[in-house]
Amino acid sequence: MKELIITAEKNNLPQVLAFVDEQLEAVDCPRKSQMTIDIAVEELFVNIASYAYNPEIGTAVVQVSVHEDPLSVEITFIDNGKQYDPLSRPDPDTTLSAKERKIGGLGIFMVKKSMDNVNYEYKDGKNILTIAKNLN
C-alpha cells in the first residue's frame, strides 16, 4: 500500500491525481479504467477539500492498494473532518430533467456507478471512504 498525506485543498488535486496515476501506471492499468478512476478520485478529493473541514483546512490521507488476482485497485480516502456518509444520501432521480432534480449528489452517484465497490465507515473520529475497481 502506498500513502499520500496532503492538505485537503482543491489546488492539491493535481498532486493527488499524479500519486494515484503513478500507482496505476506501475501495473499497466488500462487507460479507460485510469480515466474512470481519476474522475472518481477527483470527485471524492474535491468533496473532502470543500466540505470536510469547512471553513478550516485539514489533511486528507489517500491510500492506494493494488491487488494481483484479479488485478484491481483499492483507493481509500481518510479525513478527520465532520462526520458525513455520502453513501447514505438517496441516489438522484436521473429520469428527471436537471431543472427538476435536487442540487447535489450526482458526483457520488457517478462514483457508485463507475466503481465496482464503494464503502464508507466512520471510525475513531475519521471518515473512511474506499473505492475499488477491477482492472481486467
Residues of the chain above pLDDT 90, percent: 79
From the candidate CATH numbers 2.60.40.10, 3.30.565.10, 3.30.300.20, 3.50.50.60, the one assigned to the domain spanning 2-134:
3.30.565.10
CA end-to-end span of the chain, whole Å? 20
* pLDDT at residue 114, as a whole number: 96
Q: What pLDDT is attached to residue 92?
A: 60
> Residue 93 has what pLDDT?
64
Q: What is the CA radius of gyration of the chain?
A: 15
pLDDT of residue 45: 98
pLDDT, averaged in runs of 10, over the chain (136 residues): 97 98 95 97 96 94 94 97 89 65 72 97 98 93
Q: Can you give the length of the chain in residues?
A: 136
pTM value is 0.91
Contacts of 13 (CB under 8 A, 6+ apart): 42, 45, 46, 49
Q: Domain residue spans in the chain?
A: 2-134
Residue 132: the pLDDT is 98
| Residues 56-74 pLDDT 10s | 999 999 999 999 888 999 9
